Amino acid sequence: MSWETPSALLLQIHIAVSIIGILSGLVVLFGLMTAKALRGWTAAFLGASVLTSVTGFPLPPFGFDPPRAVGVISLVLLAVAVAAYYVFRLSHAWRLLYVGAATIALYLNVFVAVTQAFEKLPVLRSLAPTQSEPPFVVAQLAVLVVFIVLIVIAAVRFHPETT
């Protein structure tokens, strides 16, 4: 058996759970902005996001690089979100910690997805081959601005004790 086969399978799993994490995270974010604690979607988002980060570590190239740094940061944020949601039940300051940690973890997943899109999709790669060109920078700044606005809206509106 070739070692490329398990690595290719792990990459497919990594991509699948990343997509699940992003899509379920967007549903959770919509719930936060509409003051709804969507329990099932939240479990799917948090679980898939943890799996996304964990499955990224054994993928080549090996060594500590920017994607792994994002993975570590994401895991720390997800640990805070899990604790805030499941242990502290969103009480007091834990509500804001959950909103912030979960939304920033989702942002990191989207940030990586945009980066991968510019790396893997020929049409985007031609616009920003080194990922330092204006189209890449504008795309990432747009994602950042959108998430800053959404996190503020979610922090203001999400009060599960009143739902």
The total number of structural domains in the chain stands at 1
From residue 72, how far is each of 43, 52, 108, 162 by CA, in Å? 20, 11, 11, 34
Is the bond into 66 cis (omega within 30 degrees of 0)? no
> Would you state the pLDDT for residue 1?
42
Sign of the CA dihedral with 150 first, then 72, 129, and 137 last: positive
The parent domain of residue 149 ranges over 4-162
pLDDT value at residue 61: 85
Tell the burial category of 132 from Cβ atoms under 10 Å away from its Cβ (0-12, 13-18, 19+).
Answer: exposed
Task: Quick: pLDDT tens for 82-139.
Answer: 999 999 999 999 999 999 999 999 999 999 999 999 999 999 999 999 999 999 999 9
Calculate mean pLDDT across residues 26-53: 97
First to last CA, the chain: 54
